[in-house]
Structure 1
Amino acid sequence: MSHRAHLIAVARGDAEPDTIIEGAKVFSAFTREWLDGDVGIADGRIAGIGAYEGGERIDGRGKYLVPGFIDAHVHLESAKLTPAQFARAVVPRGTTAVVCDPHEIANVAGVEGVRWLLDATEGLPLDVFVMAPSCVPASDFESPRGPLGPEDMREILKHPRALGVAEMMNFPGVIGGDPDVLARMVAPHVDGHAPGVMGRALDAYVAAGIVTDHEAFTAAEALEKRRRGMWVLIREASNARNLIALLELVREHGPDYCAFCTDDREPDYLHREGHIDEMCRRAVAHGIAAEDVLVMATLHGARAHRLLDRGAIAPGYVADLVLLDDLTTFSVARTFKDGRAPVYPESVPAALLDTMRAVPVAFGIAGTPERVRVIDIHPGQLITGAGEASPRIEAGHVVADPDRDLAKIAVIERHHGTGRVGLGLVRGFALQAGAFASTVAHDAHNLVVVGVDDADMAVCAERAQALGGGLVVARDGAVVGELALPIAGLLSDAPLEEVAEGLEHLQDLLAEQGVTIGAPFMTLSFLALSVIPSLKITDRGLVDVDAFQLVPLALGEREAFVARFGALYEHSPWVAERAWRPEGFDGIDDLDAALREAMYSASRAEQLELIRAHPDLGEKVTSLTEHSRDEQATLALSPADYDRFATSNAAYRAKFGIPFVVCVREHDKDSVLANADARLGNPVEQEIETALGEIAKIARLRLEDAL
């Protein structure tokens, strides 16, 4: 008898199941209700819910039986664990399937690296589905081992666990219809990556065939994407925590077309907080019904990727099941994979243990520029600022200046031994002594080093090479801590607990050396990703992501002007670029007038994009620019106020299709709401002009602050 015939016989009641889980409350992901009955399992699949005889009986009384959790978008490599060790970490927490974009290993080891990951995940008690990496390299400014083209992607897609095309990070190329970018969309299912993309640009992105997005960081953005039929993958990563902000969407509009994902979680976070189970705990703690939380953690992750035989407890579905002790802590009593207890096979090919080709480089920055570009870190965000500073000069060289939180940063090409290095300055680590390095550096994963002492930077680089890849901390000319990542320079074959403890030790060492931000190695790893705004660095040099071009460290007069005033108009440095004039300005009023003229003389499409770059009033602090955060903080909103603002924002957007913009420093929270209600009566064109006027007021006050 075939497996299918046997399953049907068990479902009819003509054969005994292999396993029966009895007495638990059974969650129906389709109706979001709890059912009474025993669950019969045969040949790794669910036969039904009812009364069964025979087979192994498992006592579920007093517990809750739910489908296995699904992580809808993850880069396994960020956990710095082999696939088997990753499975050991997450399966006991209830995760039974993940959808992985393996572009980290692909950048280091090409198609062979992806094949290894697929082979290494065969037979694990964790279903690892992959998407064919679409952006290797992430941009032409990065230097991986080699590019992956459409034919490489098609080769990956032949595997039965390959589901489609991984996140299209080059969203400007998609929106602009770039033929080379569109040629990479080699499957019907394509994942998205479109931070802040809204309006007509979003229409174009979705029209291209993109079906998911995990980059939304405000409820308003997520709602706009959901309204266009996109699956919103709610992300809670080590360095991009969007869960709480996006729960506003679920609270107001329900869980439809929402699923959970972790994207990038470091081992210490994974060990300390958990995986999808942690997202469930936090969502319930923030007032979301457990049933809504569970459907996002299970069925919706499957549906988002067209996995039609998992994510629910129903006849014919894969028997990936979790027994929970309760619906508040989501403590896992037991996980079942294909109806059985988990086992963890593992192997690593020798080629992945030999990927370091970095050569010694010099870290000196010759020259005496008056002003330089600085990468400004925004804690808890992947976006960086394009800052500026007057550098410290010694012996004709730009040097680090820890008293002003200016550290040196270097990205060294490590795949081909070219000796190419990009050098710059970074602000935000608060490093006071020594240096630290990582061979995890998205997406090309070259060797990135930050330090306030060139000799310590060299020590870090040399030790990372000797380890075959990893994380290193140095001080006073010596290595003081390290974590080897010998598999492709990305992964350790040690257990989660050991890797997490090693990372925590390195973070403690960095704290002793002055570093104040959380997850410093994760933060460091994203400073080399040249597709997330605004200023990044690769082995080829500094990258202005907004202009999508390489830029020098030294600033000219116009560049210095834009670096200083580009942020006055929200996410729109083009206003300052057009306002600049070589003869300068006759005081603040003249400068303000030039900025306004640049805005008002722009095309209507540009003006609308400027308006849409502004946040909805009352958005959570983590989603705001520094200017907007400080301005909205003056309103001192309570939780009830956030609800009032969300209702007002929704009504305004429904009519005008833009966020409500008002100069909050001229109002209190009650007058802001009154202003919004009054402006709802405006015709659309009048309201656009009103919004531009408010933007001009906001920019004027920011200008006064800057001067």
Structure 2
Amino acid sequence: MQAETLKQQISAAKGEVDAELVLKRAKVVNVFTNEIEEADVAIHHGKIIGVGEYSGQNEVDLDGKYVCPGLIDGHIHIESSMLCGPAFEQAVLPHGTTAVITDPHEISNVAGTTGLNFMLETTRNLKLSVYFMLPSCVPSTNLDESGAVLEAKELAAYYRSERVLGLAELMNSYGTVNGDAKILQKICDCIAAGKNVDGHAPFLSGKDLNAYITAGVQSDHECSDVNEALEKLRRGQYIMVREGTAAQNMNALLPLFKEPYCDRCMLVTDDKHPGDLLRGGHIDYIIRKAIAAGVEPAVAIKMGTLIPAKYFGLKQNGAVAPGYAADLIVVSDLKNFTVESVYKNGVLAAEDGKMLEPTALSINEIAFARVLNSFNMDEITLGDLELHETGENERVICLTPHELLTSEKIIPFQNHPGTAPGVDVENQIVKLAVFERHHHSGHVGLGFLGNYGLKCGAVASSIAHDSHNLIVAGTNDADMVLAGNTVRKNKGGLAFVLNGRVVGELALPVAGLMSMESAEEVEKKLQALKAALKEAGISEEIDAFMTLAFVSLPVIPKLRLNTYGVVDVEQQKIVPAIF
């Protein structure tokens, strides 16, 4: 900031000259004291310069509507919205989100630093402030087969960017507490740069938790139990209360929405599909849901504004107060918490659910060829799905509704007519396959999935956390082959096949993760797919694609399936699907 600009702001704050913009007769949500103040909000050169009684060159009479700080999502993977930067902005900014802290480890697992650079470049000129945490685990563990490997030396230079705030979710907690040298180097580089280290350690407790925090890990977003969250709070971590498409932990963590806990807790979404963003909202949805559950509105708002700003060192964000950035939202009442207008740096950016000047997507196809052509695998054949293990029992990966955790079930090996061996439609057990798609290795992991609900056909997706190989679930091999090859042909995406016919598909050619279309177009195709899958038996409590996407992630208990086979996460070893 120039001294002359600062002088002008001070003069306007004193009332010596009119502010550029004044929001008159507002009810200001004070996130420092949890109070509601009746006052004008004065803005000059993009900054709030006063809360009180002011005159402005331009005045907007709010007539008692509420002014809140712009909302901040402290942990999200933009890739999981299936949208590129501009389309993502158009989905979330009208809901009051003025800043996000994103972890681009999805695209980095596919395309390494080229993927990371793609995300930095395509979010650079948005009105939405997009900050980054560098992906810490590419791949997530040694038991994963990703498209790239990012070591400390590849990440170090990025810390010089003001948009990079630290090291993202350290999901290899096992390696961290056991002193893995490569992980510790990443942590040391981040701390030396004066930036934050985020955590990801479901159910880590006791001395292992102490060791994890000693290593420098400052937060956790995987708590699904309030006692787990309280233990981590007592040991000094910040807790990110997650409410996304697949993982919905807010209700279990409601006791944290009060003093003293709320001062070290923030609201995050982690992963959210475009339709949930468009219809339900983003951080505003979590605030609305919390208020409906009896949470004090100012507390819920603080957890979605001031707390993430403080944690990430965004010193001029997260409050309606002098000296803070004029990132503001206007809502008519706190019960419904419907965002009517959004100001970014003091300029009206969105109104009545729409951005006023949407940003266009521009991609350098030569520089990002690796991102746009990420499939390197042969067509799938029936032979690829042949089970080579033998035995009397099968090990089933069982899904948990609204959670990312899975459980293990051992049952007698099934062989029902009309389905693939091992499948038991009546008891919600389908066949599962994961195909390596990055290095033409031909590796295929086979197993069985429970509680998915699919009664016929096959589902395929190139979104399979975190390495994003091609995952296919189905009741018969022929449909699984066609579903997988449909996604391969589209250079990534989703597909549903029934009786040898492609019922629906959504192409995601950007790293096999994102579309270049609008949120509305992506959601239209996604909803058609989900409607067809609902008819095919997918439970209301399971998101057909978001939940399936996490079945490959070998860092969340209990069982997962990736290109190496069935992974016992707690033991960090491959176990047989049939024995």
Q: Is TM (by shorter chain) over 0.5?
A: yes
The structure carrying a bigger helix percent of its residues is 1
* CA deviation string 1:460-507 (max 9, x = no partner): 111101112111000111111011112111111222222222222111
Question: Which residue number corresponds to residue 221 of structure 1?
Answer: 228
**Corresponding residue pairs, total:** 554
Is 1:388 the counterpart of 2:410? The answer is yes
Rounded Cα–Cα distance in structure 2 between residues aligned with 1:83 and 1:211: 27
Question: Which residue number corresponds to residue 614 of structure 1?
Answer: none
Question: Which residue number corresponds to residue 355 of structure 1?
Answer: 374
| C-alpha contact 1:21 1:57 (8 A) present in aligned 2 | yes
Partner amino acid, structure 2, of 1:478:
R
Question: Which residue number corresponds to residue 94 of structure 2?
Answer: 92
Rounded Cα–Cα distance in structure 1 between residues aligned with 2:249 and 2:56: 47
Is 1:344 the counterpart of 2:358? The answer is yes
Question: Which residue number corresponds to residue 274 of structure 1?
Answer: 281
Aligned ranges 1:188-337 → 2 under 5 Å: 188=191, 189-251=196-258, 253-337=260-344
TM-score by length of 1: 0.76
Question: Which residue number corresponds to residue 401 of structure 2?
Answer: 379
| C-alpha contact 1:143 1:539 (8 A) present in aligned 2 | yes
| C-alpha contact 1:74 1:263 (8 A) present in aligned 2 | yes
* CA deviation string 1:255-278 (max 9, x = no partner): 221110011112222223211111
Aligned ranges 1:32-181 → 2 under 5 Å: 32-181=34-183
The secondary structure found in structure 2 opposite 1:184 is: helix
Quick one: percent identity of the two aligned structures? Answer: 40
Deviation at 1:358, TM superposition (A): 2.6
The 10-residue stretch of structure 1 (477-486 or 513-522) with the greater mean CA deviation from structure 2: 513-522
- Alignment match of 1:518 (pick from 536, 542, 559): 542
The secondary structure found in structure 1 opposite 2:485 is: helix
* CA deviation string 1:324-359 (max 9, x = no partner): 110011011100111112243222332232212232
* CA deviation string 1:129-186 (max 9, x = no partner): 1001000100112222111110122122222100001011011222222222211212
| C-alpha contact 2:140 2:172 (8 A) present in aligned 1 | yes
- Alignment match of 1:452 (pick from 461, 475, 499): 475
Rounded Cα–Cα distance in structure 2 between residues aligned with 1:291 and 1:432: 46
Say which one has the larger Rg: 1
Deviation at 1:438, TM superposition (A): 0.5
- Alignment match of 1:527 (pick from 551, 554, 558): 551
Partner amino acid, structure 1, of 2:167:
V
Aligned ranges 1:622-661 → 2 under 5 Å: none
* CA deviation string 1:435-454 (max 9, x = no partner): 01011110011110001111
Rounded Cα–Cα distance in structure 2 between residues aligned with 1:357 and 1:16: 61
Rounded Cα–Cα distance in structure 1 between residues aligned with 2:75 and 2:143: 25
| C-alpha contact 1:360 1:419 (8 A) present in aligned 2 | no
Partner amino acid, structure 1, of 2:364:
P
| C-alpha contact 2:151 2:182 (8 A) present in aligned 1 | no
Question: Which residue number corresponds to residue 594 of structure 1?
Answer: none
| C-alpha contact 1:367 1:398 (8 A) present in aligned 2 | no
| C-alpha contact 1:354 1:468 (8 A) present in aligned 2 | yes
Is 1:549 the counterpart of 2:578? The answer is no
What's the C-alpha RMSD, in Å, of the aligned pairs? Answer: 1.8
Partner amino acid, structure 2, of 1:464:
V
* CA deviation string 1:54-83 (max 9, x = no partner): 422122122000100111111111111111
Rounded Cα–Cα distance in structure 2 between residues aligned with 1:359 and 1:304: 46
Is 1:470 the counterpart of 2:489? The answer is no
Deviation at 1:14, TM superposition (A): 4.0
Rounded Cα–Cα distance in structure 2 between residues aligned with 1:225 and 1:105: 30
| C-alpha contact 1:408 1:450 (8 A) present in aligned 2 | yes
The secondary structure found in structure 1 opposite 2:385 is: coil
Question: Which residue number corresponds to residue 677 of structure 1?
Answer: none
Deviation at 1:392, TM superposition (A): 2.7
* CA deviation string 1:646-682 (max 9, x = no partner): xxxxxxxxxxxxxxxxxxxxxxxxxxxxxxxxxxxxx
| C-alpha contact 1:455 1:477 (8 A) present in aligned 2 | yes
The secondary structure found in structure 2 opposite 1:209 is: coil
Question: Which residue number corresponds to residue 28 of structure 2?
Answer: 26
Q: 1:220 to 1:88 in 2, by over 3 A?
A: same
Aligned ranges 1:472-621 → 2 under 5 Å: 472-516=495-539, 517-555=541-579
| C-alpha contact 2:139 2:466 (8 A) present in aligned 1 | yes
| C-alpha contact 1:165 1:190 (8 A) present in aligned 2 | yes
Rounded Cα–Cα distance in structure 2 between residues aligned with 1:43 and 1:121: 23
Rounded Cα–Cα distance in structure 2 between residues aligned with 1:38 and 1:54: 10
Rounded Cα–Cα distance in structure 1 between residues aligned with 2:552 and 2:202: 17
The 10-residue stretch of structure 1 (529-538 or 201-210) with the greater mean CA deviation from structure 2: 201-210
Of structures 1 and 2, the one scoring higher in RCO (CA 8 A, sep 6+) is 2
Give 5+ residue unaligned stretches, structure 2.
350-356
The secondary structure found in structure 2 opposite 1:326 is: coil
Rounded Cα–Cα distance in structure 2 between residues aligned with 1:469 and 1:214: 28
Partner amino acid, structure 1, of 2:509:
P
The secondary structure found in structure 2 opposite 1:21 is: strand
The 10-residue stretch of structure 1 (504-513 or 46-55) with the greater mean CA deviation from structure 2: 46-55
Give 5+ residue unaligned stretches, structure 1.
556-707
The secondary structure found in structure 2 opposite 1:341 is: strand
Question: Which residue number corresponds to residue 187 of structure 1?
Answer: 190
Rounded Cα–Cα distance in structure 2 between residues aligned with 1:540 and 1:349: 35
The secondary structure found in structure 2 opposite 1:163 is: strand
Deviation at 1:252, TM superposition (A): 7.0
TM-score by length of 2: 0.92
The secondary structure found in structure 1 opposite 2:186 is: coil
Rounded Cα–Cα distance in structure 2 between residues aligned with 1:39 and 1:515: 49
The secondary structure found in structure 2 opposite 1:506 is: helix
| C-alpha contact 1:364 1:398 (8 A) present in aligned 2 | no
* CA deviation string 1:382-439 (max 9, x = no partner): 11112222223489x9443323322111111111222211111111112221101011
Rounded Cα–Cα distance in structure 1 between residues aligned with 2:251 and 2:448: 32
Question: Which residue number corresponds to residue 354 of structure 2?
Answer: none
Rounded Cα–Cα distance in structure 2 between residues aligned with 1:487 and 1:250: 38
| C-alpha contact 2:48 2:320 (8 A) present in aligned 1 | yes
Partner amino acid, structure 2, of 1:344:
P
Deviation at 1:380, TM superposition (A): 1.4
